[in-house]
Amino acid sequence: MKGVILRINLNALIVDITHEIEPQNVLEASRVLGESYRYFPDGTIHICVVDPGVGSSRRPVVLHDGKHYFVGPDNGVFSKVITEADQRLRGYHITESRYFLPEVSSTFHGRDVFAPVAAWLSRWVSCGSFGDLISDFTVIPEEEPKKIDGGVEGKITHTDRFGNLITNISADLIEAEKHELSKDKLAVRVEGKDEAFDLYSFYNEAGEQNKTGALINSEGYLEIFFYRGSAQNKLGINVGAKVTLCSNNSFARQGEA
C-alpha cells in the first residue's frame, strides 16, 4: 500500500496509526480511529483497511467531515467518525475505476483501491471525482452502558498490549453517577469477581502494593488495570465481561447480604 501511494505521490507523508487491530474487528477499528483522527493535522487522509467483506458488495467510500478525509470500506469501520461528523459529513461511493490499480484483486482492496484513491486525493483530485454522493452509511451502534439499581452496568470492550481492560463506561457517565449517588468515591466491580476495585486518578496512585484498580483513561473511558502488570492475566477476564460502577457502600452491603 505504501509503495502504491508513493508511486502516485512521492511527496505523500505516510504515518502508521496501528497494525494491531484484532483481525476482522470492525468495531475496535472504529473506536481506535475515532480516538485518534482529530489529533492529526486538518486535511489528513485516513485509510482504514479492516475489511472482512472485501470483494463482496460492501461499498468502498471516501468521507469528508470538513477537515479530515477517510478512505475505506463502508462496513462500520467509520461508525464513530460518521456519528461525530453528523451533518458535516459528505460521503462518496468509490466507483471510478480509472483511479484504481490496473488489476484489482478480490481480496486486497487496501492495495488496489484504497491506497491509489487516497494518493490521488492527496494530489487534489476532488472527492466527487471518485463516484456519487451517498448518505446511507453503515453505522454499527455501540452497546451503551445501562442504569441499574445503585449504579451503572457496562462491559469490557477491548484490551491493550499492557493487559488493561477497557470498558464502554465514559467519564461523563461516571461524573453523573457521582452526582446522583452524592458520593465522591465509587467502586468498580467485575462479573464473577468478589473484589471491588477503587477508582484512582493515575496508575501510580495504586502503586507499591501490586494492586488492581480502575481509572479514567486517556480516551475518557473507565479502565481496569493491575499496577505494573496485566489486569487481563491477573483477573482472567476477557472482552465482553460485565463491569459495574457503584458506590462503595452499596457494594459492601451486597457483599454482606
- The residues near 93 (Cβ < 8 Å, ≥ 6 apart) are 59, 60, 61, 74, 131, 132, 134
Q: Which is nearer to a copy of itself, 40 or 129 (CB)?
A: 40
Q: Which of 202, 238, 249, 254 binds a copy of itself (CB under 8 A)?
A: 202
Q: Which is nearer to a copy of itself, 28 or 112 (CB)?
A: 112
Q: How far is the CB of 156 from a copy of itself (least distance, A)?
A: 17
Between CA 26 and CA 6 the distance in angstroms is 27
- Is residue 13 part of the contact set for a copy of itself (CB under 8 A)? yes
Between CA 169 and CA 155 the distance in angstroms is 8
Q: How far is the CB of 132 from a copy of itself (least distance, A)?
A: 23
Strand pairing class (221-226; 242-247): unpaired
CA-to-CA separations, 89 to 57, 67, 114, 211, in angstroms, rounded: 22, 10, 19, 45
- Is residue 257 part of the contact set for a copy of itself (CB under 8 A)? no
Q: How far is the CB of 3 from a copy of itself (least distance, A)?
A: 4
Q: Which is nearer to a copy of itself, 162 or 253 (CB)?
A: 162
Q: Which is nearer to a copy of itself, 217 or 247 (CB)?
A: 217
Q: How far is the CB of 52 from a copy of itself (least distance, A)?
A: 6
Q: Which is nearer to a copy of itself, 150 or 163 (CB)?
A: 163
Q: Which is nearer to a copy of itself, 7 or 185 (CB)?
A: 7
Q: How far is the CB of 152 from a copy of itself (least distance, A)?
A: 21
154 DSSP β-pair partners: 243
CB neighbours (10 Å) of residue 104? 14
Q: Please give the residues from 210 up to 229 whose contact with a copy of itself meets the rule CB under 8 A.
A: 215-218, 223, 227-229
SS3 of the chain: helix, strand, coil, percent, to 5: 30, 25, 45
Asked if 200 and 214 count as a contact pair (C-beta separation under 8 A), the reply is yes
Q: Which of 95, 105, 233, 238 binds a copy of itself (CB under 8 A)?
A: 105
Which residue's C-alpha cell is 461508525? 79
Give one word for 43, left, alpha or beta, with left for phi > 0 and alpha for psi -120 to 50: left
* Helix H or strand E segment including 255: helix 248-256
- Is residue 36 part of the contact set for a copy of itself (CB under 8 A)? yes
Chain residues that interact with a copy of itself, rule: CB under 8 A: 2-4, 6-7, 10, 13-15, 17, 23-24, 36-37, 39-41, 44, 52-56, 58, 105-108, 111-112, 161-163, 201-205, 207, 215-218, 223, 227-230
